Structure 1
Amino acid sequence: MMADALSPNKQALLKIRELKQQIEALQAEQATVSEPIAVVSMACRFPRRSKTPELFWQSLMDQTDEVTEIPQDRWDLQAFHDEDPEIPGRMYARHGVFLEDIDEMDPEFFGISPREATWVDPQQRLLMEVGWEAIERACWVPEKIGDRTGVFVGWMHNDYQNEASDSFLNLNPYIATGAAGSFLCGRLAYYLGLRGPSVAVDTACSSSLVALHLACSSLQQRDCDRALVGGVNAICSPTTNILTCKLKALSPTGQSRAFDAAADGYLRGEGCGVVTLRRLSDAQRDGDRIIGVIQGSAIGHNGSGGGLTVPNPAAQEQVIRDALRRAGVAPADVSYLEAHGTGTELGDPIELRAAAAALASERNGSGPLLVGSVKTNIGHLEAAAGMAGLIKVLLAIEHGRIPGQRNFETPNPHIPWDQIDVEVLTKPVKWPSVKPIVGVSAFGMSGTNAHAIVAAPPQSVSRYAADANSDSESNADGLPQLITLSGRTEEGLRELASRYAQHLQDGTQNLSDVAYTTTTGRTHFEYRAAFAAQSVDEAADRLAAIACGRVSPDVATATAKRPPRTAWQFTGQGSQYLGMGKALYEQEPIFRQAIDQCDALLGSRANVSAANEAGASAASTATLRQVLFDDSALVHHTSWTQPAIFAIQMGLVKLFQSWGLSPDMVLGHSVGQYAAACTAGMMSWEDGLRLIGERGRLIGDLPSGG
């Protein structure tokens, strides 16, 4: 019937229904676009010896002074220094915050020849190493995630290329790929085999936080399912120091004093930080460890104003409000702001006024907005500054304390402290709220501003220990746990074993989680070692044997150039017995989940023939678990035998796959053909179970001996 032939009331109802469908579609789209993003792992190289997040946290809590004079291995300071900022070709700044051993790298690990490595920018080297550590901390194996994983990197300076190509005679192909900014993310994506978006971002000092925003948007738009986000900065040439001194941006006294009356400029720093991201729903589904949640983010520009490099308070306030709106967070709920806080006489007052307007105008008795800047601890990492601030707040959330900043003694008189409800932290404090919500700001000299709202993670547990979280002991049941290690070289394998042994020394590690991670969350290289252990002490002893190269009958070692081809054979009827799979059901959550799923799908199976033949009046209400573990008669009746064997095979496949195992080919005999077909992806496990259940019922109804 045509719509115009309907009565006006029916036409109105149809229109209402159509509008409701449009509204529901828009709401679903909006929910997708604003979906929270989980931070799954983080890794870093921060000054001077903060080579891990754990060491960085200790440095923050100790408020270590990491400032040094410019090292001799960067350039001859005396040749370029002069107190007078107007002298051409000279810098007045003598200090900075530097990484140690910036020239060290294992190029062959990343498939880079020694000759090519000479021309690879230290920023690429840092990003490769820290990016690899980040995916290992996330338990991501590159070959399993490549199709839908993106790389987003904030960068800014090209010191190394400028120095390497100072003469036309030095130009070679390695400089083109070794120093161009696009190859920062391009080389990392190439090495890891990642085929998602690969984006290098240069918005000056806001680069890495802008990269974070773009990665979150890419995840929400389904351009990728996972993302590595990083920022990197290396000080390799006097050129940028001279330029920033001509701008009078650097501190002549060699200290970063954010919000202090003595603030006289920023202190250049170098480092690299990388985080891994997933959509929160995906991370929760897969039981990932979640260390924080990006509730929302925003970027914007200053527009026209007082000058190209002059901050715009209205623009800064707007970008914070935009991030709050996208996060669905009220300003008063933000308890702490990790500020841009460069320690400049002009920038600090503008930033705090804007932040107070956006976050502290209506605190409603929730206490002042707490503020700090990591730049007072490790200097201004420029393109990596936003990532340093993000990692600082993630660590603060994890440890339940906010570190204090350094060098705040006399409040900056240009900041109206009596008019804004903010407090600069100088000592560590506990979070004022049960579930911390944090703002992180980064503002670029070119005018691009970024802000992110970060929240504490929801309650979650590791995927392996999901059903054992009530037991905090390392391996309470004393079951053997398989530990596997590998390295590109024999020396690398020994060093890895030594690090694992140190990791187990504090006695707080769960051996089951360690076994799960080493087996499923690591790439397996050529040089390999494996052993079973029932306790942390036993594992530590065997790790020590590997580390020192001692032959042990308890440790298997081998070299594997290529993975072997494997086949899985699925047996038919006749292999069943009472209690099959019971130990796995009790000890392995994934196996138990598969059996329970089959039990729910099968339900109680009424079968008069089975009841008569088995003499079991309860057969009509029996469940799969009862048949497997309690009823010796029904487990041998075809109506139950066939789905029982299928369920066990399904549970084993799910368990093996969770351990990172998969076959190259499958074979099945009789009943086993159904599980083999499901494993090969020819049909779903649900369809396979329905088919085998019906097959068993039909055969079971046939007369005995027929």
Structure 2
Amino acid sequence: MRNGKDLIRNIPENRKKDIEKYLSFKGEDIGNLKFLEAAYLEEIDGFDYKFFKLSPKEASLMDPNQRKFLETAWTAIEDGGYGGNKLKGTKTGVFVGFSNNPLNNYVDIISDVEPGELPISLSGNLTSIIPSRISYLLDLKGPSMLIDTACSSSLTAVHTACRSLKSGECDIAIAGGVKINIMPLDNEIKIGIESSTGRTRAFDDDSDGTGIGEGVISFLLKPLKRAIEDKDNIYAIIKGSAVNQDGTSVGITAPNVKAQTEVILEAWRDSKIDPATLSYIEAHGTGTELGDPLEIEGLNEAFRKHTKKRNFCAISTVKSNIGHLYEASGMAGLLKAVLSLKHKELAPSIHFVKPNDKIDFIDTAVYVNDRLTKWDVNNTARRCGISSFGFSGTNCHVVLEEAPEIKYESVAHDSSAEIIGLTAKSEAALYELVRRYKTFLQNSEGICLKDICSTANTGRTHHNFRLAVVAKDKKELLYKLDFILENKFSGLDRAIGFYGKHFVIMIDKEILQQGELRQKEKLELTTQVGLLTEELAEQDIFDNSLLERYVSYM
């Protein structure tokens, strides 16, 4: 976003070949296939089914939308430091924005290729199971629901999650959205808002529609007071939100400017803020002939009820970079806004050359931010709004504020050295985790080593393949991780780190008596931390308290 990159492109070759193979199987002519230009995920078929305790068959029959959301929700939970069994049995809710496209349906592919598998593919293709899958896997007891309001689905899911948190229905919420274009063929079936160039030229005079994209996003939400008490890493604060409906307009899919104004005003009332302190709006910004002028009119009408200031609030839209993610688009806008608050920068809205002549920007409260700028404010917190207006007529607006600056006291340890334990379900996955931690350490200014190690050791699930590294500071840890990335785990020098495998072996025994199968017993043979802790104990580089902390983590 910072670099103003246009992510619209041709379909990745591996995905193109998969589609051609499927259509050839159906007997269709693939000689003249034309694929849409879009912001594509590189792959949608890769999935670690073993990690999620699924069989290869069950995973292959699962809609890619469900697979990708499961992965991303898991990542969000671990990023928040709630991995392992921390959420097991808790009142954690799951709210997902998703809309099933009848022209882009995975179950139709199953029906063509493996019709006999349709009965067992049911749970993997029911849209209501997308949020329920993570609830089932982690034994979450809060509300679990799918939100479908077309383009505003995912931002409405955030609004619904916040209401559930406020009412006490749940203590923590996972809110997300997903959009994958399984069969992105350029056919003649259009809905009337498509861009002729595949690009979203929001608020530009040459705009004629929206591009398309795909993606999956998840957020972990908690009440602010509890997040501060629990010393969570806070990216931003949701100050308030609102949802409403267009009602009667010129057409059921046409926007209603009065409804857009009212949903923004209601979100401001819910946030209890002075709208004049807003300095950025992440716009819906579809780049359509009707949508853009009406959005600016509705936004300006809302501002005029509170201030007469002109051109004080920047606007841009992530759709100019990644196209319209439809049901996941509001969440994509929210993610961009959160990162803008975190980095205190406003990213450019690209493809903006000449202002739309149907919009009087001179007399409005907003201006299009078309270049990377520092997000400076005068004596107030940085605040912004995100708009998402549904093709269904359901509108949503969310108000954000930057996270409070909280200086947590580091966990007091006696030892001068720290230990970080990294685990994964395979050696390849562990190697990738080491690479990610190296990248994190290179960008972790202001975070002390003790906090990094404490979170890594207690906030992630522990798996079979394990690495322990001892370091006195971040520089030493970065050096050792870099060494491991270059030399892998085989024959790892103890001066660098300790690598081991921790397996639980399951053996099935059939006990036969009098010629009949009486029962099946499962004998669990479990190895303990064992070798790894013995090796650590032999080293004289840190004291026993550090070893005890490590054992307790494992």
* TM-score normalised to structure 1 length: 0.65
Residue 421 of structure 2 is matched in structure 1 by 484
Residue 171 of structure 2 is matched in structure 1 by 225
The CA deviation at 1:157 is: 2.9
Report the CA distance shift for 1:303/1:542 in structure 2 as closer, same or farther (over 3 A): same
| 2:208 aligned residue (234, 244, 264) | 264
Q: Name the stretch that deviates more: 94-103 or 66-75.
A: 66-75
Query: Could you give the per-residue CA deviations for residues 582-625 of structure 1, whole angstroms, max 9, x where no partner exists?
Result: x99xx99xxxxxxxxxxxxxxxxxxxxxxxxxxxxxxxxxxxxx
Report the CA distance shift for 1:662/1:129 in structure 2 as closer, same or farther (over 3 A): closer
The CA deviation at 1:444 is: 0.7
1:150 maps to amino acid: G
The CA deviation at 1:102 is: 2.2
> Within the alignment, does 1:496 sit opposite 2:433 as a pair?
yes
Report the CA distance shift for 1:563/1:369 in structure 2 as closer, same or farther (over 3 A): farther
| 2:91 aligned residue (134, 140, 148) | 148
| 1:559 aligned residue (502, 517, 534) | 502
1:535 maps to amino acid: D
Report the CA distance shift for 1:209/1:382 in structure 2 as closer, same or farther (over 3 A): same
Residue 261 of structure 2 is matched in structure 1 by 317
The CA deviation at 1:213 is: 0.4
Residue 454 of structure 2 is matched in structure 1 by 516
Q: Name the stretch that deviates more: 508-517 or 537-546.
A: 537-546
The CA deviation at 1:70 is: 4.1
> CA separation in 2, counterparts of 1:64 and 1:115?
38
> CA separation in 2, counterparts of 1:425 and 1:306?
31
> Within the alignment, does 1:539 sit opposite 2:477 as a pair?
yes
Judge conservation of contact 1:290–1:460 (CA < 8 Å) in 2: no
Secondary structure of the 2:149 match is coil
> Within the alignment, does 1:157 sit opposite 2:135 as a pair?
no
Task: Give 5+ residue unaligned stretches, structure 2.
Answer: 24-31, 505-525, 530-542
> CA separation in 2, counterparts of 1:458 and 1:341?
29
The CA deviation at 1:662 is: 9.5
Residue 66 of structure 1 is matched in structure 2 by 7
> Within the alignment, does 1:343 sit opposite 2:287 as a pair?
yes
> CA separation in 1, counterparts of 2:203 and 2:270?
29
Report the CA distance shift for 1:230/1:313 in structure 2 as closer, same or farther (over 3 A): same
Residue 40 of structure 2 is matched in structure 1 by 98
The CA deviation at 1:98 is: 0.7
The CA deviation at 1:106 is: 1.5
| 2:158 aligned residue (198, 206, 212) | 212
Secondary structure of the 1:246 match is coil
**Going by fraction, where is helix more abundant, 1 or 2?**
1
Secondary structure of the 2:203 match is coil
**What is the correspondence of 1:51-450 to structure 2 with a 5 Å cutoff?**
60-71=1-12, 73-74=15-16, 75=19, 94-146=36-88, 147-158=90-101, 159=104, 160-166=106-112, 169-238=115-184, 242=187, 245-360=189-304, 362-365=306-309, 367-433=311-377, 434-450=380-396
Report the CA distance shift for 1:172/1:161 in structure 2 as closer, same or farther (over 3 A): closer
The CA deviation at 1:145 is: 1.7
Secondary structure of the 1:145 match is coil
Judge conservation of contact 2:421–2:456 (CA < 8 Å) in 1: yes
Secondary structure of the 1:290 match is coil
Cα RMSD, aligned residues only: 3.1
The CA deviation at 1:319 is: 0.7
> CA separation in 2, counterparts of 1:454 and 1:444?
20
Query: Could you give the per-residue CA deviations for residues 422-477 of structure 1, whole angstroms, max 9, x where no partner exists?
Result: 20110122224241111101011011110101011112134636x8xxxxxxx9x9
With a CA cutoff of 8 Å and minimum separation of 6, indicate the structure with the bigger relative contact order.
Answer: 2
The CA deviation at 1:266 is: 0.8
The CA deviation at 1:256 is: 0.6
**What is the correspondence of 1:688-699 to structure 2 with a 5 Å cutoff?**
none
Report the CA distance shift for 1:660/1:182 in structure 2 as closer, same or farther (over 3 A): farther
> CA separation in 2, counterparts of 1:101 and 1:167?
20
> CA separation in 1, counterparts of 2:289 and 2:167?
40
Secondary structure of the 2:181 match is coil
- The aligned length equals 495
Secondary structure of the 1:486 match is strand
The CA deviation at 1:499 is: 3.0
Larger CA Rg, structure 1 vs 2: 1
1:68 maps to amino acid: R
The CA deviation at 1:115 is: 1.5
Secondary structure of the 2:420 match is strand
The CA deviation at 1:286 is: 1.1
Task: Give 5+ residue unaligned stretches, structure 1.
Answer: 1-59, 80-89, 468-474, 566-582, 589-654, 664-706
Secondary structure of the 1:190 match is helix
2:433 maps to amino acid: L
> CA separation in 1, counterparts of 2:184 and 2:274?
45
Q: Name the stretch that deviates more: 90-99 or 261-270.
A: 90-99
Report the CA distance shift for 1:364/1:313 in structure 2 as closer, same or farther (over 3 A): closer
Query: Could you give the per-residue CA deviations for residues 228-270 of structure 1, whole angstroms, max 9, x where no partner exists?
Result: 111110001247x647x43222112221111111111111100
Secondary structure of the 1:522 match is coil
* TM-score normalised to structure 2 length: 0.82
> CA separation in 2, counterparts of 1:330 and 1:563?
60
Report the CA distance shift for 1:274/1:660 in structure 2 as closer, same or farther (over 3 A): farther
1:552 maps to amino acid: D
Query: Could you give the per-residue CA deviations for residues 178-215 of structure 1, whole angstroms, max 9, x where no partner exists?
Result: 22211111112222222211111111100000000010
Judge conservation of contact 1:338–1:438 (CA < 8 Å) in 2: yes
Report the CA distance shift for 1:335/1:504 in structure 2 as closer, same or farther (over 3 A): closer
